[in-house]
Amino acid sequence: MPADQILTNARVVTDSEVFLGTVTLHDGQIHDVSQGTCTLPHAQDMDGDYLMPGFVELHTDNLEKYMNPRPGVDWPPESAVLAHDAQIVAAGITTVFDALSIGDVNPKGDRLRQLPMMQQAITQAEQHGHTRAEHRLHLRCELSHEKTLELFNELVENPLVQLVSVMDHSPGQRQFVKLEKYREYYQGKYHMSDAEMEKFIERQMENSRRYSNDYRRSIATQCRQRSLSLASHDDATLEHAEESAGYGMSIAEFPTTVEAAAVSHRLGLSVLMGAPNVVRGGSHSGNVAATDLADQGVLDILSSDYYPASLLQAARRLADEHESYDLPKAVKTISLTPARAAGLHDRGEIRQGLRGDLVRVRSHDKQFVVQQVWRGGQRVF
């Protein structure tokens, strides 16, 4: 069996162009990228399908669905990770940052109880080679929770941790500047009475005053010392964006206004928005739409968030519907830009010497369909 894998007659999507060409893989890396087709008998014919770099997902809580497939049902964590991994790789994602929530806004939530189980299950599956995508950890730090800093100090020692985000979901700021939206979202989500909701609001606002600023400062300092990528979350104002840049953050997750996104982009933070927001055409919490940021040219990264398949479809939407995004630029939002923002320089584009993470994609009507996936030169889907 030949040592090289040759993928030919593919529409190769690089960081700047699309051409009919051939990609050769050797020892898990991209050995050669060339225009034109190959006639060697062991070359695999891509039938004119697109060949894209493996997608890099920075922020997904998709695993939680598999941990609790129904209310009150706990699924074995190891099995949940493998089911989650299968869905991830089928969506073309070859590197995934599984988001672990430190702190929980939900007064009846299971996130803190499940946190150590999820962390252990992901770590063991990755160490034992059971996953098809490469899994890293993203610590989502809810700053208005009293135990957040303590838990962060414990989990940050895990070698899979490479990305940290800080957020404050207390009412009256950032994602929920409008109190009526906060009431609508959390009262509907957690089925609280009016009296319970009032106590919930008071408690969240007090916790934010007590913990948020100190925790943000401490976590940012540790991330700099450990060379971990750091992301802001739900920045809404010029001041928020400037504060995030001052802390050395590299990613602005889900800014809620055009102003905050534009300033973040100008200050060198990669602006990340939800791919479901692009597919659905708007934000579920009434904030700025990702497509508005695309129109302004300040949308840098897409994240599938809660729906893995949305990543590829949102990239297609950008390429089809926004003049400032051709296909290479749209694909960069789900590959090269997130990889670089997270400090990964060995993947994210189809270029000689990089890791052989590839996705074969067929175009059908207005739908992109994943056909095959390679991670490190090995076929995984």
pLDDT single digits (tens) 1-14: 457 999 999 999 99
User: How distant, in Å, are the alpha carbons of 290, 305, 377 from that of 251?
Assistant: 15, 15, 29
> Long-range pairs for 213-221 at CB < 8 Å and ≥24 separation?
214/149, 215/141, 215/143, 215/148, 215/149, 215/166, 216/143, 216/166, 216/168, 216/247, 217/247, 218/149, 219/141, 219/143, 219/149, 219/152, 219/164, 219/166, 220/166, 220/247, 220/248, 220/249
Higher pLDDT, 285 or 13: 13
The answer to whether residue 310 scores a pLDDT higher than 80 is yes
Sorted by sequence, the CB contacts under 8 Å of residue 285 that are 6+ apart come out as 175, 176, 181, 185
- Which domains, and CATH codes, for the chain? 1-54+348-381 (2.30.40.10), 55-346 (3.20.20.140)
Q: pLDDT tens digits, residue range 154-175? A: 999 999 999 999 998 777 666 6
For residue 167, the cross-strand partners are: 142
The answer to whether residue 284 scores a pLDDT higher than 60 is no
pLDDT score, position 199: 83
The answer to whether residue 323 scores a pLDDT higher than 70 is yes
Sheet holding 55-60, edge to edge: 55-60, 93-102, 134-142, 161-167, 229-233, 251-253, 270-274, 301-303
| DSSP states of 180-244 | HHHHHHHHHHHT--HHHHHHHHHHHHHHHHHHHHHHHHHHHHHHHHHT-EEEEES--SHHHHHHH
CA separation for the pair 205, 152 (Å, rounded) = 21
User: How distant, in Å, are the alpha carbons of 22, 32, 55, 236, 371 from that of 35?
Assistant: 6, 10, 23, 45, 22
The answer to whether residue 181 scores a pLDDT higher than 80 is no
Give exposure, 63-99, as e/b (b: 16+ Cβ within 10 Å): bbebbeeeeeeeeebeebbbbbbbbbbbbbbbbbbbb
pLDDT score, position 122: 97
Q: pLDDT tens digits, residue range 206-251? A: 888 889 899 999 999 999 999 999 999 999 999 999 999 999 999 9
CA atoms within 13 A on the CB side of 265: 20
Q: pTM of whole model > 0.95?
A: no
Q: pLDDT tens digits, residue range 12-59? A: 999 999 999 999 999 999 999 999 999 999 999 999 999 999 999 999
For residue 136, the cross-strand partners are: 97
Amino acid at 308: P
Mean local confidence (pLDDT), 86-93? 98
Q: pLDDT tens digits, residue range 127-141? A: 999 999 999 999 999
Mean local confidence (pLDDT), 80-107? 92
CA separation for the pair 5, 27 (Å, rounded) = 9
CA separation for the pair 309, 4 (Å, rounded) = 30
**DSSP one-letter code for 269:** P
Mean local confidence (pLDDT), 274-299? 86
